[in-house]
């Protein structure tokens, strides 16, 4: 079939009622086919079609407002969503909470690999990823609300080892994006911050007899250099050219997101003003050695990179993120997953394969809840569907996992004084509980595999043992009974407790009385 150039509205007309849509994008507008999503949404608003869609996306997509997955978050438009990360679309989270859609959550790498396996017409994806977590059918099987009743995953035993088999997707329409299309219909992505799982999403649609619709910024004369083609014309059905397409939500095209930089320039002050973040990230950074392959998660843990930059050590490690990027300086906040001056860019699917092979020496991740057995929850709490993104794929395969977070939440205020931590106001919500609401990281499983885990807070550090959490360090100025044990729902193992390193409590250069984010 010859690739056809259509308008966004003409392309949207090819999405049928009841179709399964595969989306390949990331937050901040990374690789997001914004105009295509808007056209599908516009058609639904005008005609009530397409309706009863199934939407699949591996990573978080949106701006917490109107873009990305938010464009599908209308009652009747979508009946089922399988997402790796949901928090960029509060509207879709509400539909899930109100039981107006069937909501499923899977690890991001699982969804990315299922695109590939489904496109190759294989019988699903067999992996250890997700064992003993919410994705395991002995827990929730990825079901995130009562309306989600399908069995999408099962336990297998192969050669005496347990695995999960995630059932294949039947993708009807792939919505993906690139930068340019050539005269033959090949798609390039020169100006994109990452290529994510766009190829695998297109494979899933084409392998199941579906269609692939690609949004690009421009047409080019002749043929692209084959080394610049990331989506061959043979996989493309329709192309929509959108000259106003922006690289991210913040800029039309920022060369810093694809041009290399001198790694020796990655130095400078951390800029951290919150003493909680500063202490936690300083302590976490002490676990990172020159030459380590390092992964940084979203939120507080991402600020470990700022500490490494301040210490002049950022260029001494190999940064690797699930979006498929290596090195550079990681972007934070709404542009998380992108990097200034990356040194390499591969697909998310290949990146997750490499992660599964044990590439990561150290990962620094967040923790919303932690329990006595060392389980961590970041994927669902308070009745909200959050999703883990790449957290499960990464934490289950890294040699060392460092979970970073405040000891309590909602109102905690501290300051640093004479090398000590002073608690000015305790948080109202305990984060260390007897049992987490949902298991995103399975502590006992990690311990049985011999994986190392630390749980770093502003006032103490725990480590994972086969018997559960052990308290191993306490901040100077902190009383174990008053400031730690009194706020736990369980008693941790206590043997030899050291003092947290003094360098973690060095003065900040700005206001030291900032609330935790």
Enzyme catalytic residues: 322
Give 126's strand partners: 165
Rounded Cα gap, residues 26 and 63, in angstroms:
10
Contact 389, 321 (CB under 8 A): no
Q: Which residue in 194, 283, 263 sits closest to 230, CA to CA?
A: 194
Measured distance between the N- and C-terminal CA atoms of the chain, rounded to whole angstroms: 52
Cα-based distances in Å from 112 to 181, 196, 421, 434: 24, 9, 43, 33
Indicate left, alpha or beta for 46 from its phi (over 0: left) and psi (-120 to 50: alpha): alpha
Angle subtended at Cα 245 by Cα 239 and Cα 250, rounded to the nearest 5 degrees: 150
Q: Which residue in 139, 231, 147, 140 sits closest to 185, CA to CA?
A: 231
231, containing H or E segment: strand 229-231
C-alpha 470 chain-centroid distance: 28
- In the numeric block, which tokens belong to residue 127? 């992996």
Other CB atoms within 10 Å distance of the CB of residue 121: 9
**SS3 assignment, position 314:** helix
Backbone φ, ψ for residue 56 (5° rounding): -125, 130
Rounded Cα gap, residues 295 and 346, in angstroms:
15
Rounded Cα gap, residues 374 and 462, in angstroms:
9
Q: Is 97 exposed, middle or buried (0-12, 13-18, 19+ CB in 10 A)?
A: middle
Q: Which residue in 438, 418, 412, 334 sits closest to 105, CA to CA?
A: 438
Cα-based distances in Å from 351 to 319, 322, 341, 358, 384: 12, 6, 18, 11, 29
Number of Cα atoms under 13 Å in the Cβ half of residue 435: 1
């Amino acid at each position: 079939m010859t690739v056809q150039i259509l308008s966004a509205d003409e392309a949207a007309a090819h999405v049928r009622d009841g179709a399964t849509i595969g989306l390949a994008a990331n937050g901040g507008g990374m690789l997001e086919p914004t105009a295509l999503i808007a056209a599908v949404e516009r058609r639904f608003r005008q005609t009530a079609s397409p309706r009863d869609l199934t939407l699949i996306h591996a990573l978080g997509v949106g701006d917490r407002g109107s873009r990305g997955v938010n464009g599908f978050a209308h009652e009747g438009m979508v009946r089922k969503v399988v997402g790796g990360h949901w928090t960029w679309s509060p509207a879709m989270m509400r539909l899930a909470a109100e039981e107006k859609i069937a909501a499923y959550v899977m690890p991001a790498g699982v969804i990315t690999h299922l695109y590939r396996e489904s496109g190759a017409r294989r019988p699903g994806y067999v992996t250890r990823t997700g064992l003993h977590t919410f994705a395991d059918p002995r827990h929730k099987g990825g079901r995130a609300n009562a309306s989600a009743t399908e069995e999408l995953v099962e336990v297998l035993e192969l050669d005496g080892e347990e695995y999960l088999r995630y059932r294949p997707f039947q993708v009807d329409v792939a919505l993906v994006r690139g930068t340019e299309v050539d005269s033959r219909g090949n798609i390039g992505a020169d100006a994109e911050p990452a290529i994510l799982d766009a190829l695998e999403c297109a494979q899933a649609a084409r392998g199941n007899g579906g269609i692939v619709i690609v949004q690009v910024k421009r047409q080019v004369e002749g043929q692209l250099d084959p080394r610049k083609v990331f989506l061959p014309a043979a996989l493309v059905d329709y192309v929509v050219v959108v000259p106003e397409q922006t690289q991210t939500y913040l800029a039309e095209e920022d060369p810093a997101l694809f041009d290399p930089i001198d790694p020796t320039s990655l130095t400078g002050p951390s800029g951290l003003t919150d003493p909680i973040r500063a202490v936690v990230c300083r302590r976490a950074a002490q676990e990172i050695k020159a030459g380590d392959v390092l992964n940084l998660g979203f939120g507080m843990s991402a600020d470990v990179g700022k500490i490494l930059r301040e210490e002049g050590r950022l260029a001494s490690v190999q940064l690797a993120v699930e979006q498929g990027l290596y090195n550079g300086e990681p972007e934070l906040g709404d542009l998380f997953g992108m990097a200034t001056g990356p040194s390499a860019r591969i697909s998310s699917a290949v990146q997750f394969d490499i992660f599964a092979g044990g590439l990561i020496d150290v990962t620094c991740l967040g923790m919303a809840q932690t329990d006595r057995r060392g389980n961590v929850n970041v994927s669902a709490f308070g009745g909200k569907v959050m999703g883990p993104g790449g957290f499960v794929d990464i934490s289950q395969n890294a040699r060392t996992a460092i979970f970073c977070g405040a000891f309590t939440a909602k109102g905690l205020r501290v300051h640093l004084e004479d090398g000590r931590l002073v608690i000015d106001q305790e948080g109202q919500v305990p984060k260390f509980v007897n049992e987490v609401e949902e298991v995103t990281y399975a502590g006992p499983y990690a311990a049985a595999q011999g994986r190392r885990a630390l749980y770093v807070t502003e006032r103490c550090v725990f480590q994972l043992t086969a018997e559960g959490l052990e308290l191993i360090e306490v901040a100077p100025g902190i009383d174990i009974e008053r400031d730690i044990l009194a706020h736990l729902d369980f008693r941790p193992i206590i043997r030899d407790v050291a003092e947290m390193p003094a360098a973690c409590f060095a003065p900040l250069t700005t206001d030291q009385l900032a609330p935790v984010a």
